[in-house]
Structure 1
Amino acid sequence: MNADLTLAPVQNRPLKLAVLISGGGTTLTNFLEKRAAGELNIEVPLVIASRPDCGGIAKAEAAGLRCEVIRRRDFENTQDFSAAIFNLCREAEVDLVTLAGFLSLIHIPDDFQYRVMNIHPALIPAFCGHGFYGHKVHEAVVARGVKVSGCTVHFADNEYDHGPIIGQSTVPVKGTDTPDEVAANVFQAECELYPHVIRLFAAGKIKIVDRRAVIEE
């Protein structure tokens, strides 16, 4: 990775997103709702699901989006699995790959460095890494008794929940909150943070300095 890099803006056209899903597609739905409201200037030429029973597949198809299923089990290793994903992303000429509840580890090729984002439902580096995903994160938050949780958008690299942090949003956690209540509050924060970071990317306002993401206002 380059130590110092300013990401170029996407000008005079919508940002082309690939959206990778493993579940219900709620983040995809949020992107499409923001687009419909005029709050996110995007196209989604490609959705990739990690399994054929993802609820998000029906949502993608209902929106008229191309959706491909690529299962990890169909490949011998992570490299081949990742190559299949990024070959489709190249064919679709996407500007940015967004991981939207995508649970499989991928290896990012050089031409997609700093062009793959992930959102994690906690404040990295807390409650993250292998095994911390979905509801398990919120269960751990409640069990630990922390007073603040939230979400993190970061550039993905070849480790779980790693790579430069771009943005974070916090939510309070009450002592009486259940994991479901924490999850609902965190998701509301995600619905605002992820589109905000995508807009920053499109505007060329993210700079990488010493492997840290710096926002240029």
Structure 2
Amino acid sequence: MKKIVVFASGSGTNAENIIKYFSKTKIANVVSVFTNNASAKVIERAENHQIPVEIFEKNELLDRNVLQKIEKIDPDLIVLAGFLLKFPDNIIEKYPNKIINIHPALLPNYGGKGMYGMHIHRAIINNKEKETGISIHYVNEHYDEGGIIFQANVALTDQDTPETVAEKIHELEQKHFPEIISRLLEE
């Protein structure tokens, strides 16, 4: 059975969706959730599924502490699901093409530092975009610039608000993210 490690910083809805999806397969299991936010809802969600949680400080991500914990697990895939810190080069170098991220826009648009969550959805509405979507991509040393694995789009109307855009994006994430992870693990 393949092993998935999930990194998340917030509510953990995508992390929980991935945990539930793989608990019903023989492909892989989420074996650990890592978070930099000691009050993140993802902690409770992971613990509800008996998934071990590693809470760390930002400086621990940059030194070898987090890398050493990951190496002990020896994951087949590292999944960033709402993880807001820049992923460190030492982990990227150790796990080339084994770290993926989901981004709530159609990259290369609306990517980069500070472009996450409602910041993106507001920018999309302010720019009167006619569509948006999700991008699942490999993680490299730059924010949101790794090779794109998958994109899905959704149409927008003049009545959409940042909140309705967020709902549409969440639906795409919940549907596609576990499926793409599964496909990558089967390759």
Tell me the TM-score normalized by structure 1: 0.81
2:40 is equivalent to residue 54 of structure 1: yes
Larger radius of gyration: 1
Relative contact order, higher structure (CA 8 A, sep 6+):
1
From 91, 107, 115, give the equivalent of 2:72.
91
Distance 1:140 1:176 in 2: 15
Once the two structures are superposed, residues 67-95 of structure 1 have per-residue CA deviations (whole angstroms, 9 ceiling, x without a partner) of: 011121x45xx631xx3222211111211
Aligned match of 2:148: 165
**What one-letter code is carried by the residue in structure 1 that aligns with 2:46?**
A
Distance 2:80 2:42 in 1: 13
Aligned match of 2:11: 24
2:59 is equivalent to residue 103 of structure 1: no
5 Å-filtered alignment, 1:59-98, equals: 59-72=45-58, 74-75=59-60, 79-80=62-63, 83-98=64-79
From 118, 125, 130, give the equivalent of 2:108.
125
| 1:192 Cα deviation from its structure 2 partner | 2.0
Cα gap change, 1:35 to 1:79, in 2 (>3 Å): closer
Distance 1:21 1:150 in 2: 20
Compare the two structures and name the one with the higher helix fraction.
Answer: 2
Distance 1:166 1:185 in 2: 20
Distance 2:65 2:106 in 1: 31
**What one-letter code is carried by the residue in structure 2 that aligns with 1:86?**
L
**What one-letter code is carried by the residue in structure 2 that aligns with 1:51?**
N
Counterpart contact for 1:107–1:157, Cα < 8 Å: no
From 24, 33, 45, give the equivalent of 2:20.
33
Counterpart contact for 2:105–2:133, Cα < 8 Å: yes
Query: Unaligned 5+ residue runs, structure 1?
Result: 1-12, 205-217
Please provide the CA RMSD for this pair.
1.5
Q: What is the percent sequence identity of the aligned residues?
A: 28
Distance 1:71 1:138 in 2: 28
Counterpart contact for 1:153–1:193, Cα < 8 Å: no
Distance 1:49 1:151 in 2: 22
Q: Which moved more, 1:84-93 or 1:49-58?
A: 84-93
